[in-house]
Amino acid sequence: MKQFEVPIIYRGPLITAIKKMRKDSDRMKRDFTPTLLDFGPLRIYLARHFGFCYGVENAIDIAFKTVEENPGKRIFLLSEMIHNPQVNSDLQDHGVKFLQDTYGNTLIPFGELNADDIVLIPAFGTTLEIEKKLNDIGIQTEKYNTTCPFVEKVWNRSEMIAKQNYTIIIHGKPKHEETRATFSHASVNSPSVIVKDMEQAKELAKYIAGKKPYSLFYEEFNGQYSEDFDAGKDLERIGVVNQTTMLASDTQAIADYLKQIMINKYGLAEANIEEHFADTRDTLCYATNDNQNAVIDLLKTDADLAIVVGGYNSSNTSHLVELCEEKLPTYFINNEEKILSSKEILHYNFHTKEEMLTPDYLPSKQPVKILLTSGASCPDALVEGVIKKLISFFKVTKTTEEVIENFG
């Protein structure tokens, strides 16, 4: 894979050494067992895959090169580059201004832009409508487009099955930048509808099966279907694609469920399933899969708690938290400063969208066993900072430098 220039401030010597060792010993990425960092009274189990993915490194590389190569020019980001506060803040410190917030609300009107300005398209991509607005101003979008190649893969697959007269079902969060962009690209070619979870997929299935009046569809899926969508005829041939950061198992479960609905309704067999249901399994993102599978293997370890590091509005990170919460106490933090002491931790509850303070999060017994991972938009330096903060609470038998030597 292509190598990117990512600022050194996002790296950490310990994590770099670990990742290099794991990559050299497992080039085919078949071993998902965690890495043990044994500090004596503290044992940290690090997920096999975590941190910056290909799409994020690509976006960061393009963004910082754009700043470096265009001194004196006005540079804007359409919205957050990625869902990580440190990276977005660093770009703002370099003079980059945001045109919209993460929900698409205007921060700087497009009317204030001119053809000489640079506008970076974030890793999530953008809608065709916004791209046209920028092009009409005279702004080049292709040169400064950091859209993740795996997001574009979903768009290309959607276009391909649209040409075969399938309606596109998008599994994603309706307000997420990537889902909005995918919906825009899909709906220009085919009728499209967003389902946010299995519960909504089951309700959609009732319309497919004719168990609910089509008239109710438009209120139930308000804001989630394309213009002129006809629930009576546009659900006869469907294909499922996804926001790349959703839980892969959830997307597959939704696809399997809707596939079975089609089989039941039309009396299909595997030989003719494509008459009503498209095969779209190739739209799942490799990094999302790897990170989620690494957490699944990580959770096989007997441990006291899990810590997940990442941006609080990061979809892929919240799904890692979701997996961990099913097994043991889990603390979602965006940097080491949230670990206030050995007695208290300030962490994010993504269900209620608020931070909460938890006392006595570390058990009194030793060794303390902690599972650790991070989202695809989280710098390794933040994970390393969390490790160092945890180490500071114990009389460890090894320093981080000695542990680094083990992975050299």
Catalytic residues: 178
375 near 311, Cβ under 8 Å?
A: yes
Return the half-sphere exposure (C-beta side, CA atoms, 13 A cut-off) of residue 265. Answer: 20
Structure tokens at 213: 């009046």
Please enumerate in sequence order all residues whose Cβ is within 8 A of that of 178, keeping only pairs 6 or more positions apart, or say none: 124, 125, 151, 172, 243, 244, 245, 315
C-beta atoms surrounding 219 within 10 Å:
7
CA distance 132 to 144: 15
Question: What proportions of the chain, in percent to the nearest 5, are helix, strand and coil?
Answer: 40, 15, 40
Please enumerate in sequence order all residues whose Cβ is within 8 A of that of 119, keeping only pairs 6 or more positions apart, or say none: 75, 76, 77, 78, 99, 113, 134, 139, 141, 144
CA distance 166 to 316: 28
Hey, is 370 helix, strand or coil? strand
The owner of tokens 């629930």 is 231
For residue 174, cis peptide bond before it (omega within 30 degrees of 0): no
Angle at CA of residue 23, ends 21 and 28, nearest 5°: 145
Cα–Cα distances (Å) from 72 to 75, 89, 117, in that order, read 9, 19, 10
CA distance 66 to 89: 16
Hey, is 239 helix, strand or coil? strand
Beta strands across the sheet bearing 42-46: 35-38, 42-46, 368-374, 305-309, 330-333
The span from the first CA to the last CA of the chain, in angstroms, equals 23
Element at 168 (helix H, strand E)? strand 167-171
